[in-house]
Every structure is written in C-alpha cells, then in structure tokens.
Amino acid sequence: MTTDQTGAKESGPSDLAQADFARDAGSSTLSDYVRDYISRVRGGEVGALPAVLGLIVLALIFSRASDRFLSVFNLANLVSQAGITVLIAMGLVFVLLLGEIDLAAGTASGACASIMGLALVNKGDLHKAFGTTVWVIVLLFLVAAIVIAVMSRLWIAVGIIALAGLMILTSVGTGNEIGAIYVAVSAGVGIGIMTGFLVSRIGIPSFVVTLALFLGWQGVLLQFIGTGSAISTSNFNLINNISNGNLPPLLGWILFVVVVGGYAAFTLWRSVQRRSEGLSADPVAVVLLRAGGLALVSGIGLFFLNQERSPNPATNSIKGAPYVLPIIIMLMIFWTFVLTKTRFGRYVYAVGGNAEAARRAGVDLRRIRTAAFAIGAGMAAFGGIVQASRLGSVPSDAGGGNTLLYAVAAAVIGGTSLFGGRGRARDAVIGGLVIAMIPNGLGLLPNLPSSANFMITMLVLLLAASVDALSRRRSAAS
C-alpha cells in the first residue's frame, strides 16, 4: 500500500471508479484476499505469521533430532508446560497493548498461588496461616485496592476484590478449592489495581514500578511460605488435576465440535450477514478455509492427545487433553471477545495506538491503564495456580527466574507489539507454544548443555522483537 498508488488514484480518472467505496465490501474472491493479505504482510502487518512459521520450523528440527519429540506423551507434556507461560502472557497482552510492561507478573503469580496454597493447607483459616499482623496488612491492602478501583470506576474489580476480602475476613469458603483459587485470582486483581495506581495516578514509569514490585512480591511470597520451603498442593484433587488430570476423550471431542463448529458457524454467519447488508466482510471461501485449517490442526492435536500414553495401560490409563487446555481455550475466547466486541477493548487499542488521541476523544486513560494491569496480574495468578498444580507445590521461588521473561517472549513472538497498540489474546497461545517447545525439545536431545537452552531462547526472543520493530518501521513508512 504505497503512497504512489494512492496518489495515482487520487488524481487520475480512476477516481470516479473508486467512488462510493467500491472496495468496501472487502476483497470478494479468494485471490483478491490472498493479494490483500500479501500486501498487508509486506506493509508490516505480519500478525501471527512469524510465530506459526517458527512453530513449524522448531517442530521439524526437533522431530528430526529426537524421535521422542512427536510422541504422544511429549505432546501432552508440552501442553501442560506451555500452560503457565500462556496464561501469564495472555494477561500481559493487555499491558503490552498499552505500550506498558509488567515485570512483576511472574513473582505476583507466585505470591497469589501461595495464598491459595496457604488457604487450603490451613483449611481456609488465613488468619492463622498469615499471623494477625500479616492478615491485617493483607486486608488493608485489599481495602486500598477497592478504594482505587472505585476511584477508577472499575466496578467489576471492586466486586471481585470485595468478595475475596470478605472471604478472607470470615474464612468462609476459603477452605474450598474453588474458593481458594478465587481468592488467589482476586489477590492478583488487587495487585494489578495497585500497580495501575502507581503507574497511572502517581505517574511512575511501569518499568520502574514493576521492577520494584518484582522484588517485592518475591519477599511477600517468602513471608507467606514462612519457615517451610514449599506449600504442598498435591493432595488437593481439583488443583492437582488442572495440569495432571485429563479430559476424557469423548468430552474432548464434544468440546472440539462445540468450539471449532461454533467458530466456523459464527464466522460464516457473520460473513454472509455482513455481506448481505453491504458491509465489509471476508470472502466465504476464506472463512471456510480458516475454519477448516483450525479444525484440521486442532483435530490432529486432539486425536494424539486422546491416545493412550501410559507406559502401563492396564493398571493406570492416561489419555485425553490436560484440563489446562480447555481452560486456556475458554480464557482465550473470553479475552478475544472483550478485546474485539466491547468498548473497553476498543479503548485498550486506542490508548496503545495514540494515548493523546484517546484522551481527546474522552477516554479515561487512568481507568483503562489500571484495568489492564488488573487483568494482567489476575491472569498471572491463574498462571501461578497452574504452576502449583504442575509442580504439586508452591515453592519459595514460584514465579521467579525466567517465568516472566518467557511470558513476555511468548506474547511478543505471538505477534503482540512491545510498542503498544497491536496484539491479540491468541498471540499468547501461539507464542507460548513456541516458547515451551524450545526447552521441551532441547531437553530431549542428548549431550546438550542447559546453557544452550537459554541462549537459544534468547535468539528466538531477539528474532521476534526484531520482527516486531521492523514491521512497525515498515508500517510507519508506508
């Protein structure tokens, strides 16, 4: 889409042919669509293309290097490994969309998971678990978060945190596994509200705020864990099953039909409907191809996940997709819906694209920023819970190390821009798979030192960031 072309059309006699938005119904044929897509990619809108290519290349390399890589056991392992990164990254997409960063998402996930662990181990009595001083401080923190959420008119966050605060105060429901998960996620939302306050109202750059909080939440985690070295969660079935339990194969296929069929039906209906109203829409062929591709890839994946992968099937049968997979898919659909169909989602993109323009249009920047951080930290808490499930405990370094960097890398590799304004919930899923595949595949290679793991991850991340920076320059130049 070069300026010369447009310039020629503006002045030339073709002007009249272009009148009344001749192309407004969108590209009507498949070949038009492909041509448009290629010109978009050349113009810098690469989307998820690099991540998908990376996924294919990595899969080819690893499957040649080790015959265990494509085994059914490893496939399931890969999914549950990727789960943690994907969930944290999905929340980070909101923060990154604003052009901000949340370096504390990793350690916040650990601190939140430890609250869940403590609540369960102490049968819901967080007062006893924390000791009075810490318990009071936690409650005061939640009250402060509620006040800030009220100031920012984030009523959903107010409700979530207030209910969790009441539960902690009265110890009602916190002993229940669902209740404990809820309290942990709400604590994440509270943490995000506080981060958002420091960034949007005090005006500290998010890099500095979250760098400080990165250290802070590590301390909080150690404080919560106390003298023990870890909080064991493996005795709690529901939590243990998130990562280690599997969806029964039949249920997996039902979910497959509902999700993929629902996607195909919805996109097809929208295309036909919009075209009949004379609005821009994707060609039906493209919609069908997309749905077909999705059905093929996810169908093959589910088929393998549904195979028996226990070394000893007679005594202990293991088959089906890990529960974390449907959780991720549901959250991805939910956040995609929020980003594309709600006013809030639109404002997130607007603030990330041009904050001044959004402000002049009447968007409350502080509200949007605070909400994005709250979503980021709330999703990070989900990631922490999945990690606790996978490890069977909340260790003293939960969410530390490279948890956060992997999550940021996942979002960026998936196509979310570090400069803000561009990104989708699905980026976290595709990027998370790429990021999880590297240590997974390298781990299967004999005689490969762990140093290679970090260095190869570095290369992949730098490559993704370069693609981001270059495509941005490209779209600015056109």
Partner 1 sequence: MVVASNPILSMTGINKSFGPVHVLHDIDFAVYPGEVTALVGDNGAGKTTLVKCVSGIYGVDSGEIRFNGEPVNVHGPRDAAALGIEVVYQDLALCDNLDIVQNMFLGREERRAGLLDEGLMERRSRDVLSSLSVRTVKSVRQVVSSLSGGQRQTVAIAKSVLWNSKVVLLDEPTAALGVAQTEQVLALVRRLADQGLGVVLISHNMNDVLQVSDRIATLYLGRLAAEVKAKDVTHAQVVELITTGRSGDIGLRPAEAAATTI
Q: In this structure, are residues 188 and 145 in contact, taking their beta carbons and an 8 Å threshold?
A: no
Minimum CB–partner distance for residue 110 and partner 1 (Å): 33
Q: Applying CB under 8 A, does 346 fall inside the site for partner 1?
A: yes
Q: Applying CB under 8 A, does 276 fall inside the site for partner 1?
A: no
Question: Following DSSP, what letter does each residue of 282-321 receive, concatenated?
Answer: --HHHHHHHHHHHHHHHHHHHHHHTS---SSTTTS---S-
Q: Applying CB under 8 A, does 304 fall inside the site for partner 1?
A: no
Q: Applying CB under 8 A, does 354 fall inside the site for partner 1?
A: yes
Q: In this structure, are residues 239 and 231 in contact, taking their beta carbons and an 8 Å threshold?
A: no
Stretch that binds partner 1, among 163-171, 222-230, 360-368, 437-445 (CB under 8 A): 360-368
Minimum CB–partner distance for residue 471 and partner 1 (Å): 11
Stretch that binds partner 1, among 20-28, 143-151, 216-224, 230-238 (CB under 8 A): 20-28
Q: Applying CB under 8 A, does 7 fall inside the site for partner 1?
A: yes
Minimum CB–partner distance for residue 21 and partner 1 (Å): 6
Which CB atom, from 162 or from 338, has the smaller least distance to partner 1? 338
Q: In this structure, are residues 287 and 306 in contact, taking their beta carbons and an 8 Å threshold?
A: no
Minimum CB–partner distance for residue 282 and partner 1 (Å): 11
Which CB atom, from 247 or from 355, has the smaller least distance to partner 1? 355
Residue 337 neighbours by CB distance under 10 Å:
12
Question: Following DSSP, what letter does each residue of 100-144 receive, concatenated?
Answer: ---TTHHHHHHHHHHHHHHHHHTTT-HHHHH-HHHHHHHHHHHHH
Which CB atom, from 21 or from 314, has the smaller least distance to partner 1? 21
When binding is defined by CB under 8 A, the residue of 274, 275, 326, 397 that contacts partner 1 is 274
Radius of gyration of the chain (CA): 24
Q: Applying CB under 8 A, does 13 fall inside the site for partner 1?
A: no
Question: Quick one: DSSP state of residue 246?
Answer: B
Q: Applying CB under 8 A, does 469 fall inside the site for partner 1?
A: no
Residue with token string 């009249």 = 16
Which CB atom, from 45 or from 397, has the smaller least distance to partner 1? 45
When binding is defined by CB under 8 A, the residue of 150, 265, 300, 361 that contacts partner 1 is 361
Residue 134 neighbours by CB distance under 10 Å:
16
Minimum CB–partner distance for residue 423 and partner 1 (Å): 10
Which CB atom, from 40 or from 68, has the smaller least distance to partner 1? 40
- C-alpha distances (whole Å) from 18 to each of 8, 24, 220 are 12, 10, 62
CA nearest neighbour of 370 among 200, 116, 232, 228: 200
Q: Applying CB under 8 A, does 343 fall inside the site for partner 1?
A: yes
When binding is defined by CB under 8 A, the residue of 251, 357, 445, 458 that contacts partner 1 is 357
Q: In this structure, are residues 114 and 385 in contact, taking their beta carbons and an 8 Å threshold?
A: no
Q: Applying CB under 8 A, does 67 fall inside the site for partner 1?
A: no
Please give the Cα distance from 155 to 136 (Å, whole number).
24
Stretch that binds partner 1, among 6-14, 53-61, 79-87, 377-385 (CB under 8 A): 6-14
Which CB atom, from 19 or from 202, has the smaller least distance to partner 1? 19
* Half-sphere exposure at residue 367, Cβ-oriented, CA atoms within 13 angstroms: 18
Contact characters 26-45, partner 1, x per CB under 8 A = x----------------x-x
Question: Following DSSP, what letter does each residue of 178-220 receive, concatenated?
Answer: HHHHHHHHHHHHHHHHHHHHIIIII---HHHHHHHHHHHHHHH
Residue 258: both structure tokens together: 């509902």
Residue 22 neighbours by CB distance under 10 Å:
10
When binding is defined by CB under 8 A, the residue of 29, 229, 280, 317 that contacts partner 1 is 280
Q: Applying CB under 8 A, does 452 fall inside the site for partner 1?
A: no
Residue with token string 């803000």 = 420
Q: Restricting to residues 394-423, name those near partner 1 by CB under 8 A.
A: 421-422
Q: In this structure, are residues 160 and 189 in contact, taking their beta carbons and an 8 Å threshold?
A: yes
Residue with token string 């404002």 = 347
Q: Applying CB under 8 A, does 64 fall inside the site for partner 1?
A: no
When binding is defined by CB under 8 A, the residue of 124, 352, 383, 415 that contacts partner 1 is 352
Q: Applying CB under 8 A, does 449 fall inside the site for partner 1?
A: no
Please, what sign has the CA dihedral across residues 434, 439, 443, 449?
Answer: positive
* 265 Cβ neighbours under 8 A, 6+ residues apart: none
Which CB atom, from 39 or from 241, has the smaller least distance to partner 1? 39
Minimum CB–partner distance for residue 359 and partner 1 (Å): 9
Q: Applying CB under 8 A, does 16 fall inside the site for partner 1?
A: yes
When binding is defined by CB under 8 A, the residue of 299, 353, 392, 400 that contacts partner 1 is 353
Minimum CB–partner distance for residue 343 and partner 1 (Å): 5
Minimum CB–partner distance for residue 7 and partner 1 (Å): 7
Please, what sign has the CA dihedral across residues 42, 46, 52, 58?
Answer: positive
Number of residues forming the site for partner 1 (CB under 8 A): 44
Residue ranges that bind partner 1, judged by CB under 8 A:
1, 3, 6-7, 9-11, 15-16, 18-24, 26, 43, 45, 274, 277, 279-280, 341-343, 346, 349-350, 352-354, 356-358, 360-363, 421-422, 475-476, 478
